[in-house]
Chain A
């Protein structure tokens, strides 16, 4: 593939170029030309950009040296093992109706249940959508919202093997959530690139729950695009419980039509290095966007939540609440940007970042950023980093509750405030039970 090296190539990108040239990543052999062209263009972009440096504002809080020095090339797929099934049983929702499972970044039909959807709803793998619904996915994949400065989104575009597509036609409400499970077997190592798309038609309503879990050491690089038409409602919940040795990059790109409503929630519990970035563009009037979430970190975990909400139209509302907890030597960071463009009057935005640092070696950074170019808006933010309330710990202990349990109760209560913003009660309980499980080993 000498054709690709007409570009300046960053040294750390070279192994990925070579892997692309070998075709050693198991993507579909017969791909449409537009996709192959798009992949090549994206790869060239990645080769040019290379890994981001810590001088880059949106990458300053993560240490990528390990990943940069030891390439994690796109991996193939292992068979579905008993361990994978056990993980599925542990993390899957009990009452879910529509389930799509990806193992090592590829659709696993034998574990999925995508039948019985209302007519007009299309739920399936990205690979199937490329073949069956090119009209839908081509513009989604080639979307210009993936701007030039995102090296790993470019890498994802070059290498994604699969993902999921969920298309809800106008005027359709799905009562039960669509559940997407991203499992990794731990048998293949390397990187897993998944690319997904959710489109919600005018006046439609759906909840999508994505869980990320795995074994061993791997790098998951996930990109999902969400498109909401006028009056559409989408609730998207992401639960990240990657393996202790895993790297997880999750990129969410959302476009909001007039009077649509997006509520995003992310809970980061597992993984060595975890990054979640949500970029929302409010393009129509009167949108409502809620982005909430939490991270709980210990040991040497690193996590970074980034949000960027861009109000390009008037009358939009944004609400954000993020709770961070770091123990041990863990490091967490929250960066939240809200932009109000000229003419986007009557925007009402509020952002809150509250953080608990447990112990002298843990740390959390929080960086709110408001960019306001309209004069008739209501925008505010609050950020706090602190320790547990000693008087509350004493109050609990004075009733006979042991110190460690008192601390766990207070941390749980702290995180609960964010989890309570998840609308589905069954899902709230599920997330809370994962938090309780994580808390049991947080301060060990």
Chain B
């Protein structure tokens, strides 16, 4: 595999909170174009911290290690620059933003990314056409788009809205942070269908999850187990099944 096929290369990543607590203690991860990876682990293992550090959220200090994204130093980029370069984070807890219309928000985001790439902005008509094409897939009513971002959305609506944004923004690297949490089985199926539809040779999907549930619908190429801020075991999809059967307790010293 050539270097250009490596979309994401994490080496010995250490990160701590501003209060000094070290959460990530040497993560190594390499993801190639077209792959779907799952990162599993018990609560407090550092899963969401990894997602936050990759997306560029404030409040974490990287003390060691490197993250290379498409050959560039990811950690040197601001959050919006990362997004414009094709990184997408589906939030575990999508933020409610009163007063900001969902459509206006999405159009502003798409046009910011298009400007970054030197492409012309979408006018209202072009944007609406693109929106309608994706709505059906995720079973999202148009009324949801007329409301303020995530305000008054049910848990399932919030998660579908995240996957809808992903479909609109067409990222190179999508990180789904606990996208399956809080969903009933029907909503889970809709979200999984959306994710599967996004699988593409030039795209990487990293799913962060506590349970094996989602992986029954979105089949990963690789599964990693995160524990105490390190990846302690990696394997194919059968690892997820084993974890579900035997629990996280049996792991830990395998690495």
B97 touches A413 (CB 8 A): yes
**Is B112's beta carbon under 8 Å from chain A?**
yes
Contact A405 B108 (CB under 8 A): yes
Scan residues 203-251 of chain B and give those whose CB is less than 8 A from a CB of chain A: none
**Pick from B78, B94, B98, B110: contact of A413, CB under 8 Å:** B98
Contacting pair B112 A394 (CB below 8 A): no
B99 touches A414 (CB 8 A): yes
- What residues of B have a CB within 8 angstroms of the CB of A398 in the complex? 55-57, 79-80, 82-83, 88-89, 91
Report the interface size class on chain B. 20 to 34
Known A395-B97, A413-B100: A390·B58 in contact at CB below 8 Å: yes
Nearest to B110 among chain A residues (CB) is: A400
Q: Fill in one digit per residue for B86-125: 1 if any A CB lies within 8 Å of its CB, else 0.
A: 0011010011011110000110111011001000000000
Judge whether B80 and A395 touch: CB under 8 Å.
no
| B112 in contact with A409 (CB, 8 Å) | no
| A400-B169 in contact (CB<8A) | yes
Instruction: Tell yes or no: A19 within 8 A of B by CB.
Output: no
Q: Which A residues are in CB contact (< 8 Å) with B106?
A: 399
Cβ-defined contact, A397 with B99, below 8 A: no
- For A400, the chain B residues whose CB sits under 8 A away are 80, 83-84, 109-110, 112-113, 116, 169
Identify B79's interface contact among A394, A413, A417, CB under 8 A: A394
Q: Which of B55-74 contact A (CB under 8 A)?
A: 55-58
The chain A residue with its CB closest to the CB of B100 is: A413
The answer to whether A401 and B98 have CB atoms under 8 Å apart is no
In angstroms, Cα B97 to Cα A92, docked, is 32
Chain A residues numbered 387-442 whose CB sits less than 8 Å from any CB in chain B:
389-392, 394-403, 405-406, 409-410, 412-414, 416-417
Q: Mark A96-131, 1 if CB is under 8 A from B, else 0.
A: 000000000000000000000000000000000000
Task: Enumerate chain A residues within 8 angstroms of B113, measured Cβ to Cβ.
Answer: 400
For B106, the closest partner residue in chain A by CB is A399
Give the distance in Å from the alpha carbon of A399 to the alpha carbon of B95 in the complex.
12
- A390 contacts across to B, CB distance below 8 A: 58
Number of A-B contacts (CB under 8 A): 78
* With A397-B83, A398-B79, A398-B89: A412-B108 Cβ-Cβ less than 8 Å: no
Nearest-neighbor residue (CB-CB) of A395 within chain B: B95
**Contact across chains for A397 and B80 when beta carbons are under 8 A apart:** yes
CA distance A416 to B112 in the complex (A): 22
Task: Give A272 to B1 CA distance when docked, in angstroms.
Answer: 64
Chain A, residue nearest B97 (CB): A392
Interface string of A353-386 (1 = CB under 8 A from B): 0000000000000000000000000000000000
Instruction: Please measure, in the bound complex, the distance between the C-alpha atom of A177 and the C-alpha atom of B78, giving whole angstroms.
Output: 48
Tell me the complex Cα distance, A397–B149, Å: 14
User: CA separation between A175 and B100, bound complex, in Å?
Assistant: 31
Which residues does chain B contribute within 8 Å of A412, judged by CB atoms?
99
Which of A390, A392, A400, A417 has the most chain B CB within a 10 Å cutoff? A400
Q: Would you call A417 and B109 a contact (CB within 8 A)? A: no
Is B179's beta carbon under 8 Å from chain A?
Answer: no
Question: A42 CA to B22 CA in the complex, in Å?
Answer: 71
Contact A397 B98, CB 8 Å, known A402-B112, A405-B112: no
User: In the complex, what residues of A have CB within 8 A of residue B56's CB?
Assistant: 397-398
Q: Are B97 and A397 in contact (CB under 8 A)?
A: no
Known contacts A410-B97, A410-B100, A417-B99; is-contact A396 B78 (Cβ 8 Å): no
Q: Could you tell me if B94 and A395 are in contact, using CB atoms closer than 8 angstroms?
A: yes
Q: Given the complex of chains A and B, what is the CA–CA distance between A314 and B55 in angstroms?
A: 57
Q: Does B165 contact A (CB under 8 A)?
A: yes
Find B83's partner among A399, A413, A414 (CB 8 Å cutoff). A399
Contact partners of B95 in chain A: CB under 8 A:
389, 391-392, 394-395
Contacts of B88 in A (CB 8 A): 398
Q: Chain B's nearest CB lies how many Å from the CB of A222?
A: 31
Jot down 17 A-B pairs with beta carbons below 8 A, ordered by A: A395-B91, A397-B79, A397-B80, A398-B79, A398-B89, A399-B109, A400-B80, A400-B83, A400-B169, A402-B112, A403-B78, A405-B108, A406-B80, A410-B97, A413-B100, A413-B148, A417-B98
Closest 4 CB pairs of A and B: A413-B99, A400-B83, A399-B109, A395-B95
Which residues of A approach B to under 8 Å, CB–CB?
389-392, 394-403, 405-406, 409-410, 412-414, 416-417
